[in-house]
């Protein structure tokens, strides 16, 4: 919910920061974040199909369920703030940072506090000691450096796609960059499911989505004005799609019904709405 989520969300951080700060492409940076969240939600469909013990959203822990409930909360803050700024009703910014960014950070810190309190005593003691510990951290930071370089490269590719094809920043960011930067979540979640850790597979998805939204305050720091005040109708549509999909996830979490076959209604609806959303984003800039 935290460590894997932050690690697999690192491409979104680097790509979004490069697009906003270096390239001045707000649509690419913001689109990459919301697009990655949509793709992550759509991954649940495949995970659910491969999970043979019923609906995958019914087989997760209480802490993972808690993460799912926090996703629509912060997404709602983003959507309401963007609408208020579009109507010129939003409160004054704190320098370059909007007050909504502060709210998002506070909510995420509250979430981490709750998770930290509830997860005490759950630590496992079967970790490796000695040199292997340092080897793991050296490997981890080495791979993060590679991800940073690739994130910058991906953002520049997105910029060239927009310039050479005429596709909108929103569509390019949400679909192309969003899918590319979601590859770590895809790989980690499928590997976790294959290893028998269903909870880790879903927690990685929901934790990454929650953390992705919390990248927005960081992008706020890199832009000349609150980023949510510069969203286009297409980007607001993408944010609405994220809120709708997160609501379906909540419904799937609280539902006690089992699936009639290999496909669950909740994850199937998420996948279908995700596809429809990407089609709409092609026409709405």
| Spatial separation of the C-alpha atoms in residues 87 and 95, rounded to whole Å | 20
Q: State the average pLDDT for the chain.
A: 88
Checking if the pLDDT of 125 tops 50, the result is no
Nearest residue to 215 via CA among 65, 45, 19: 19
- Return the ∠ at Cα 221 (arms to 216 and 225), rounded to 5°: 90
pLDDT class of 131 with cuts at 50, 70, 90? low
What pLDDT sits at residue 129? 45
* Residue % of the chain over a pLDDT of 90: 61
Neighbours of 37 (CB within 10 A): 31
The whole-model pTM stands at 0.91
CA distances 179 to 33, 221, 257, Å, are: 10, 25, 31
Q: For residues 62 and 206, is the Cβ–Cβ distance under 8 A?
A: no
pLDDT band for position 1 (50/70/90)? low
Instruction: Tell me the pLDDT band of 161, cut-offs 50, 70 and 90.
Output: very high
**Angle made by CA atoms 51, 36, 198, in degrees to the nearest 5:** 20
> What integer is the mean pLDDT of 88-94?
81
Would the pLDDT of 166 be above 80? yes
What is the b/e burial string over 62-98, where b = at least 16 CB atoms within 10 angstroms of the residue's CB? Answer: ebbbbbbbbbbbbbebbbebbbbbbeeebeebeeebb
Q: What pLDDT score does 106 carry?
A: 95
> Once rounded to an integer, what is the mean pLDDT over residues 236-260?
92
Weakest mean pLDDT among 55-59, 127-131, 200-204, 281-285:
127-131
Residue 235 exposure: Cα atoms within 13 Å on the Cβ side: 24
Domains of the chain: 3-113+135-283 (1.20.1420.30)
pLDDT tens for each residue of 239-250: 999 999 999 999
pLDDT of residue 54: 85
Let me know: does 185 contact 40? Beta carbons within 8 Å. Answer: yes
What pLDDT was estimated at residue 260? 75
Q: In whole angstroms, what is the distance from residue 279 CA to residue 65 CA?
A: 30
Reduced to 3 states (helix: H, G, I; strand: E, B; else coil), residue 258 is coil
- What is the average per-residue pLDDT within 120-145? 67
DSSP codes of every residue in 157-192: HHHHHHHHH---HHHIIIIIIHHHHTHHHHHHHHHH
pLDDT digits (tens, 9 = 90+) for 210-229: 999 999 999 988 988 889 99
Q: Say if residues 116 and 244 touch (Cβ distance below 8 Å).
A: no
pLDDT tens digit string along 22-68? 898 999 999 999 999 999 999 999 999 999 888 999 889 899 999 99
Q: What is the distance between the alpha carbons of residues 91 and 205, in angstroms, rounded to a whole number? A: 32
Rounded-to-integer distance, Cα 113 and Cα 207, Å: 14
pLDDT tens string 28-41: 999 999 999 999 99
Q: Which residue has the higher pLDDT, 202 or 130?
A: 202
Residue among 61, 72, 70 nearest 200 (CA): 61
pLDDT category of residue 184 using cuts at 50, 70 and 90 = confident
CA atoms within 13 A on the CB side of 83: 9
Q: 118 or 277: which carries more pLDDT confidence?
A: 277
Other CB atoms within a 10 A radius of the CB of residue 245 amount to: 26
């Amino acid at each position: 919910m935290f460590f894997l989520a932050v690690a697999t969300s690192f491409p979104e951080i680097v790509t979004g920061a490069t697009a906003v700060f270096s390239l001045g492409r707000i649509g690419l940076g913001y689109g990459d974040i919301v697009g990655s969240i949509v793709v992550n939600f759509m991954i649940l469909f495949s995970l659910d199909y491969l999970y043979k013990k019923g609906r995958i959203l019914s087989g997760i822990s209480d802490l993972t369920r808690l993460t799912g409930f926090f996703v629509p909360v912060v997404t709602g803050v983003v959507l309401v703030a963007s609408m208020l700024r579009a109507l010129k009703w939003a409160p004054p910014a704190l320098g370059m940072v909007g007050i909504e960014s502060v709210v998002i950070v506070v909510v995420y810190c509250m979430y981490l506090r709750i998770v930290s309190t509830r997860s005490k005593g759950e630590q496992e003691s079967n970790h490796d000691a000695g040199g292997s510990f340092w080897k793991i951290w050296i490997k981890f930071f080495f791979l993060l450096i590679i991800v940073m370089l690739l994130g910058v490269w991906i953002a520049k590719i997105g910029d060239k796609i927009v310039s050479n094809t005429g596709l909108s920043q929103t569509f390019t960011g949400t679909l192309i960059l969003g899918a590319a930067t979601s590859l770590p979540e895809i790989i980690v979640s499928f590997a976790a499911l294959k290893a028998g850790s269903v909870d880790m597979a879903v927690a990685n998805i929901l934790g990454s989505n929650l953390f992705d939204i919390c990248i927005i305050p960081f992008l706020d720091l890199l832009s000349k004005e609150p980023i949510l005040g510069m969203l286009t109708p297409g980007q607001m549509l993408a944010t609405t799609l994220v809120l709708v999909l997160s609501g379906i996830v909540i419904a799937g979490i609280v539902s006690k019904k089992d699936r009639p076959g290999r496909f669950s209604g909740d994850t199937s609806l998420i996948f279908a709405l995700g596809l429809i959303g990407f089609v709409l984003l092609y026409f709405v800039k």
